[in-house]
Chain A
Amino acid sequence: MEGTAGLVFFTVTVAAVATLLILPPGVAVAYALARWDGPGKGLVETVLALPMVLPPTAVGLVLLELLARNGPLGRVLDAWGVEVVFTPKAVVLASAVMAFPLLVRSARSGFEEVDPRLVAVARTLGDTRARAFFRVTLPLAWRGVLVGALLAFSRALGEFGATVLVAGNIPGRTQTLSLAIFHRTQLGEDAEALRLAGVATLLAFVAVYATEVVTRRRGRRGRA
């Protein structure tokens, strides 16, 4: 039972850290996509959406190739003494990459709902571009950002394919709930696997329900 608590704690922590990590770049990219309408926008959108539709194992493989000690990124990190592959850092990274498009998608629709003319008015009232973003745009789009963060967190909770490739499945080190379920079934411990699946269901329920609540409030406000 203590093992389960540790597993839950690790899983939730990884998902939370991954979500917080992608929040600043995710919000920036979402805002840029909502406001910028230059050439190649479709291409950028497609690339950003790829992790959502690619097999997670393919994403994991790419990350592994990049970050392995002789990979292009791994070499740089190795020089600094940073090791990512098969460590908890890799779990966070895999979850972050897989969750990123979900955050961007929802945050972007939040930003798109903000009338750019409100920002123009804020600027005539003395706000710089940056100040207007924090005083007008973000407060009006925060629900979209929050929904995106909750979706990203939910996605990170259940991440498997990318994680198993780049972080392995090391009990007590890189093993999350979803990896542990797989591990137990491989060992033939179906009852234990089922119990863990129940725990995972509970976690997912809370996360998704929170998202629903926030989304519904946004709808109500939209009608007002």
Chain B
Amino acid sequence: MSLVLSLRLPLARFTLEVETRLSGASVAVLGRSGSGKTSLLEVLAGLRRGARGRVQVGGRVLLDSAAGVDVPPEARRMGYVPQDALLFPHLTAGQNVRFGERKGRPSRAEEAISLLELTPLLHRYPPTLSGGEKQRVALARALATDPALLLLDEPLAALDVALKERVLPYLLRVRDEAKVPMLYVTHQLGEARVLAHEALLLDEGRVRAVGLASEVLGTTARGLLASEGEGEENILEGTLERPEGGGLRLRVAEGLALWVPDALELSVGMRAAYAVPSEDVLLSMGPLSGVSARNVLMGTVAKVEPAASGEDAATVDVAGVSWVVRLTAASVRELGVVPGARVYLAVKTAACRRLR
């Protein structure tokens, strides 16, 4: 799959200008709200008039304004998944999935239904589906047409954190099992890290960085998206306490307290919230002793899911509170991190960042 973009599209505040060649199976398009991400997707889908230049997907020319080529959306084979799913409200989930089926053309509806586990939902109408279910149906509907490229417009943005975690594995399945190339628009660095091989960073319609996700999603992306916030953190809420012997501790639940950095303005009995990045949590299969980290928590592995390339995310239950821990796939194998396993988490006090 190759994606050649060379286009200009005048927008209200600026002109979207993209000049790049991508080869990955999975591309994240990142940028703040209003940076031109969605417009780019619409140009690719053929839904936006007025774009000049050239768009080539897998060797097929979809737009070449100089040669007068502008393939209509119905002939582009782009699997478009809008942010709010946009299911057809007068059709059942099953009819939605099969909407693009045509006689004499390959359909991947059956595969999409089983991949996204939609069988129990097929007879239901969109208003009765949850946000996550709607997104899965929209994804299957696009996938069923056997698209050359999936265009995902912030498919997780409308979902809350818990639902996000439930839909994300399905996106990974689509990428890895259905093997459909995807272009994924997001303003969440975490999602991009998990899903993308390549990344394109947009700022005010211009390409700020483009290349391998591992390179692009570093400091530039972090700086550009800083104001938008990022989701890959463990958020802990509780009441502050000062045990005898000094120090400040966050009481999250019965049986779960966390040493946090002390500060003068904090007093006992205050409600507070802290964030701990998932990559700053250390996981051990045996009891930890002699480690510098002050917080050692005992918990049980609830699930292990693929996260970024080569990395897994383990969800660990500690006294009823879920923790997400980032591990390399290799350590998951070597340590034997499986659901039900008893594990120990170590968290440095300094890794706890106060939110409020």
Contact = CB atoms under 8 A, between A and B. Distances in A.
Nearest to A135: B99
A18 B105 CA distance: 43
Nearest to A139: B90
B72 A136 contact: no
A117 B73 contact: no
Contact of B72 (A118, A121, A122, A123): A123
B90 A125 contact: no
Interface string B232-262: 0000000000000000000000000000000
Contacts of A127: 74
Contacts of A117: 82, 86
A136 B88 contact: yes
B183 interface: no
Contacts of B47: 120, 123-124
Interface size on A, as a range, is 10 to 19
B82 A121 contact: yes
A115 B45 CA distance: 18
B141 A125 contact: yes
A123 B86 contact: no
A128 interface: yes
A202 interface: no
B70 to A, nearest CB: 13
Nearest to B45: A124
A118 B88 contact: yes
Contact of B74 (A118, A124, A140, A224): A124
The 8 closest A-B pairs by CB, nearest first: A125-B100, A123-B73, A124-B80, A120-B47, A126-B100, A139-B90, A126-B74, A124-B73
Interface of B: 45-47, 72-76, 78-80, 82, 86, 88-90, 99-100, 102, 105, 127, 141-142, 145
Given A122-B88, A124-B80, 8 more contacts: A120-B73, A120-B80, A122-B99, A123-B72, A123-B74, A124-B78, A125-B141, A140-B88
14 contacts: A117-B82, A118-B88, A120-B80, A121-B86, A122-B88, A123-B46, A123-B73, A124-B46, A124-B47, A124-B78, A124-B79, A125-B99, A125-B145, A135-B99
